[in-house]
């Protein structure tokens, strides 16, 4: 973390001296000189919020106890746990650098610093000069499957991630080391195809241990393919539809309090569909804008019991878990700079586990309703109030939870462009 700050200061100090020294030049010259000296666009995002809820043992605990979605296994070799604390939270300090590297490549590096330390949120290189609408991207990046997965937390329309993705892809979504090839063919309508090969590290979807009883598998261990389609709607209307499929190695180790006694190896596959409609009102300050967005995601975990200390007779039998979920949300600019949003979510429409014993159990689904109001004083700041009301099916019965969140976030530095 100290290194990160040092790195940041090294970049910023020269910039501030440029501004100070050139005060006697014409401002335009000064700025041009400044822009030339700091080639990468730099921006810093601070995203802080208050969270309160009336759950028995905290929301993080509740999510882990949700029937069919819980991940009771221990994450012994994975990063720190995110989740929210009751009270004040600093989601993270995001430090972003991006620039055209040369006439052929563009790069983005995003460091996320929080009170637990620093991590690389994204560090990727992509091509800018390939013909025929092709692009290759490599490094660590968010998968472009679906819609919200690649959207950074500070650009979400609600404080929290949709439940289905929080439960099935984890706090970070699918963000991994890998390579992506995407193709925008020369068609009269927008049709974008992408294939991604990932190392296969996702705490929930593609968990990998590769030692002990779990076989070692070299990467890439996950592959995702997606397509996005946008019919040409006239004027202020925009629509984007998408579909995705992915599959990858998944391993689990379980046991009482970190003392593993059984191991499973296999894979998880998923498919998803999504749609986003936006009405971009001609009025300024976002008034009259409407966004309707929804995604459905379904995973199938197909893993085999490779070793069980207590039940060796079950070894070789499969464990199959099928879970799904969706969210749909509406956000409307009801006044200049003010938006209101409503989100409805359900997880576990399909929620079944077939255990190595051959017993198949079906579980109930959980629901959550969220409402938010936010105020955007400028392109660079936003304040938000959000309330969630959820009914969650857990291993100990159903629990109703009310949540209240107040968020304040700002961005300093370069003005980012918004993708659709």
Q: Which residues bind another protein (CB under 8 A)?
A: 19, 23, 26-28, 31, 100, 103, 106, 128-135, 184-190, 228, 230, 232-233, 235-236, 238, 240, 278, 280, 282-287, 336-337, 377-380, 415, 417-420
Residue 261's region, left for phi above 0, alpha for psi from -120 to 50, else beta, is alpha
Angle between helix 2-21 and helix 27-37 axes, rounded to 10 deg: 150
Closer to another protein by Cβ: residue 98 or 169? 98
Closer to another protein by Cβ: residue 17 or 232? 232
CB 156, min distance to another protein, A: 17
Closer to another protein by Cβ: residue 54 or 232? 232
CB 370, min distance to another protein, A: 24
Closest residue by Cα to residue 159 from 392, 386, 378? 386
Q: Is the dihedral of CA 388, 389, 394, 399 positive or negative?
A: positive
CA–CA dist 232, 324 (Å, integer): 31
CB 322, min distance to another protein, A: 32
Closer to another protein by Cβ: residue 132 or 359? 132
CA–CA dist 68, 350 (Å, integer): 10
CA–CA dist 419, 409 (Å, integer): 19
CB 157, min distance to another protein, A: 14
**132 neighbors 181 (Cβ within 8 angstroms):** no
220 cis-preceded (ω within 30 degrees of 0): yes
CB 321, min distance to another protein, A: 35
CB 125, min distance to another protein, A: 14
Closer to another protein by Cβ: residue 39 or 398? 39
Enumerate residues 6+ apart whose C-beta is below 8 A from 384.
49, 159, 372, 373, 374, 375, 405, 406, 407, 408
Closer to another protein by Cβ: residue 273 or 314? 273
């Amino acid at each position: 973390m100290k290194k990160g700050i040092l790195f940041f200061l090294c970049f910023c100090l020269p910039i501030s001296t440029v501004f100070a020294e050139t005060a006697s030049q014409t401002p335009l010259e000064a700025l041009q000189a400044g822009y030339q000296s700091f080639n990468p666009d730099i921006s810093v995002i601070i995203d802080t919020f208050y969270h309160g809820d009336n759950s028995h043992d905290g929301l993080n605990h509740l999510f882990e106890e949700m029937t069919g979605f819980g991940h009771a296994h221990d994450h012994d070799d994975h990063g720190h746990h995110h989740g929210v604390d009751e009270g004040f939270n600093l989601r993270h300090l995001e430090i972003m650098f991006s620039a055209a590297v040369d006439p052929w490549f563009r790069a983005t590096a995003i460091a996320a610093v929080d009170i637990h330390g620093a991590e690389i949120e994204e560090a990727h290189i992509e091509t800018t000069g390939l013909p025929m609408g092709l692009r290759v991207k490599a490094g660590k990046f968010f998968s472009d499957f679906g819609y919200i997965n690649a959207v950074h937390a500070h650009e979400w329309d609600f404080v929290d991630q949709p439940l289905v993705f929080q439960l099935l892809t984890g706090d970070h979504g699918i963000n991994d080391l890998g390579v992506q090839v995407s193709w925008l063919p020369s068609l009269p309508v927008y049709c974008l195809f992408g294939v991604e090969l990932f190392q296969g590290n996702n705490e929930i979807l593609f968990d990998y241990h590769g030692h002990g009883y779990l076989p070692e598998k070299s990467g890439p261990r996950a592959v995702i393919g997606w397509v996005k389609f946008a019919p040409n709607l006239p004027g202020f209307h925009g629509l984007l539809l998408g579909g995705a499929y992915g599959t990858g190695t998944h391993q689990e180790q379980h046991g009482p309090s970190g003392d593993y006694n059984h191991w499973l190896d296999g894979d998880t596959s998923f498919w998803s569909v999504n749609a986003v409609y936006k009405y971009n009102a001609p009025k300024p300050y976002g008034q009259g804008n409407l966004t309707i967005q929804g995604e459905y995601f379904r995973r199938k975990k197909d893993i085999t019991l490779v070793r069980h200390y207590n039940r060796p007779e079950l070894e070789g039998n499969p464990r199959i878990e099928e879970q799904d979920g969706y969210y749909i949300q509406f956000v409307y600019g009801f006044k200049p700079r003010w938006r209101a949003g409503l989100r409805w979510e359900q997880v576990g429409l399909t929620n079944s586990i077939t255990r190595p014993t051959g017993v198949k159990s079906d579980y109930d689904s959980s629901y959550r309703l969220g409402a938010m109001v936010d105020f955007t004083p400028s392109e660079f700041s936003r304040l938000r109030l959000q309330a969630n009301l959820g009914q969650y099916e857990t291993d100990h019965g159903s629990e109703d939870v009310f949540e209240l969140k107040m968020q304040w976030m700002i961005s300093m530095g370069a003005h980012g462009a918004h993708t659709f």
